[in-house]
Chain A
Amino acid sequence: MKSYLKRKAVSSAHERYLQKLWFTQLQVWSTQLAILVIFLWIWEVAANRQWIDPFLFSSPSRIWSLAVQMTLTGELLHHTWLTLWETIVGFLIGTLAGIAVAILIWASPFLSRVLEPYLVMLNSMPKVALGPLFIVTMGAGFGSVLAMAISITVIITTIVIHHRFQSVDQSYLIVARSFGATRSQIFRKIIFPASIPDMIAALKVNVGLAWVGVIVGEFLVSKAGLGYLIIYGFQVFHLTLVMVSLWIVAIISAVMYQFIDWLEHRWIHHRYS
């Protein structure tokens, strides 16, 4: 690490500065790790000594051994993969469709004013309440779960991105128009690129929302997936199974979030340095 810092540093003062930054980062990471370890340790001890009911709250070692066992049978991968797939597809379709609709209504200011109250109404409506409708139209399976993830992400994406399109700095638009830009050129050269950071921010929000949609969807309809494992474990009072599923959801959604965060930094880095 030292040699890495040396290579990046432009002077010895700069090197000390980088070292300090790196040291702070190390401190943050080790504290984060310590919190996790202490939390798991207290949980384990509390369950073993019956301070909490291990039947209700399980314990890290029980969760771990069940996870290992289910991994060996291939069961865990099957459920995880299905849920992950539903989430990614729902998330992508919801986000892309939301951006597409935003572009469409940007293209027609009249349409945008006409549709506004409907968008607001759809947005404030709790999308999970649409569950029964999806089930009767698409059957109790993949389609309904996907529809839930999409319905939860698409409207808010449309609203946020369309708002962003409209609030692009006026001086950019005037510059483009003074060169004689057409409306489509203004969109391609100014409005769309100016909104990319907000689209990435929408991706971040949508990852979380898509997970909500998929898990709720699986609660309602499905015969497989992590949401199904959670509801099944709850019904048969197998709470270790619930915990295993929860941990996997937490870990994968965090990884997805980090991935988009990384994309964002890559993009900003690419742009501004």
Chain B
Amino acid sequence: MKTSLYAIEIQNLTHTYFTKKAEMTAIRSVSFSVNPGEFIVIVGPSGCGKSTILSLIAGLFPFTEGEILLFGAPVRQPSSQVGYMLQKDGLLEWRTVDANIRLGLEIQHIANAENIAYARKLLNRVGLSDSLNKYPTQLSGGMRQRVALVRTLATRPDILLLDEPFSALDIQHKLYLEELLVQLLADGQKTAILVTHDLEEAIAIGDRILVMGGKPGQIRREFIVPSELRQLSPIKARGHPAFRPLFEQLWNEVETP
């Protein structure tokens, strides 16, 4: 199947939402490619179509024009190869944390002892093992996001799509989870696209940053994070002398309307 060099290849992607009253073109002619193992971060103002791109890669609904290839194969429907963590956590209120993190395993018929143990291990690593038997309503926003992250990682997808996964977290947890995520991805040679509004986060964890903007949304610019920053952990990268200049550049690019 691996006829392509790229893990994700997006060609001329355009998507228009149709409702009874109107149509709304969310993104127009978006093209980019992601190498296997690469960590891409997408930033851009609210409503520029970031979540739309992730949903289309996840195969949730058909796109209007263009093509999306995952390891060379066109996307037509959701696949177990892709793990998608949504902006809204969507934790099932009637399931405990433990049962929530098993949802993907159950749906993909892989809820065996080994995979369940792996999911619980991940839960432990995000610091929530004592919440195993709690219900989502008993958790804070940041705790819910961590559970949703574990649920997404539990099925061990090759490609991760993360839509503002850390937006509700305090800075300590955010830094800690950034580290964890980068480690997990490096261990498993996983490819990831992460959407965020936090420009520091983008530089600290990304290999490449795509800045989107406009209506309909397009890719405005691409920043390659220098290798000296990429080698550092997210916390250390924030302290590196090359960090600030890149941040300024990114800031100016995102600011201009």
Interface residues of A (CB under 8 A from B): 169, 171-172, 174-181, 185, 189-190, 193-194, 196, 271-272
Contact = CB atoms under 8 A, between A and B. Distances in A.
A194 B94 contact: yes
Contacts, number: 57
Contact of B86 (A171, A194, A196): A171
A185 B137 contact: no
B92 interface: yes
B198 to A, nearest CB: 22
B184 interface: no
Nearest to A185: B107
B90 A175 contact: yes
5 contacts: A176-B107, A177-B78, A178-B86, A179-B103, A189-B107
B contacts with A: majority SS: loop
B135 interface: yes
Given A171-B90, A172-B90, A178-B78, A189 B84 contact: no
Interface in B96-150: 103-104, 106-108, 135, 137-138
A194 B93 CA distance: 8
Contacts of B183: none
A189 B60 contact: no
B189 interface: no
A177 B58 CA distance: 9
Interface of B: 55, 58, 60, 77-80, 82-84, 86, 88-90, 92-95, 103-104, 106-108, 135, 137-138, 151, 155
A181 B106 CA distance: 9
Contacts of B90: 169, 171-172, 174-175
A232 to B, nearest CB: 48
B92 to A, nearest CB: 6
B94 A179 contact: no
Contact of B94 (A171, A178, A185, A193): A193
A189 B106 contact: yes
Contacts of B108: 179-180
A171 B88 contact: yes
A189 B103 contact: yes
Contacts of A172: 90, 92
A193 B92 CA distance: 9
Given A175-B86, A178-B86, A180-B79, A271 B94 contact: yes
A171 B136 CA distance: 14
Contacts of A181: 107
B137 A272 contact: yes
A178 to B, nearest CB: 4
Given A171-B88, A174-B60, A174-B86, A179 B135 contact: no
A178 B135 contact: no
Query: Which among B88, B89, B135 has the highest number of chain A CB atoms within 10 Å?
Result: B88
Contact of B103 (A175, A196, A272): A175
A175 to B, nearest CB: 4
Q: Which of A172, A178, A271 has the most CB of B within 10 A?
A: A178
A180 B93 CA distance: 20
A14 B155 CA distance: 43
A172 B103 CA distance: 11
A189 B138 CA distance: 21
A177 B86 CA distance: 12
Contact of A178 (B84, B137, B138): B84
Nearest to A193: B94
Nearest to B152: A178
Nearest to B154: A179
B87 to A, nearest CB: 9
B104 to A, nearest CB: 4
Contact of B80 (A177, A180, A272): A180
Nearest to A196: B94
Nearest to A273: B135
A171 B151 CA distance: 14
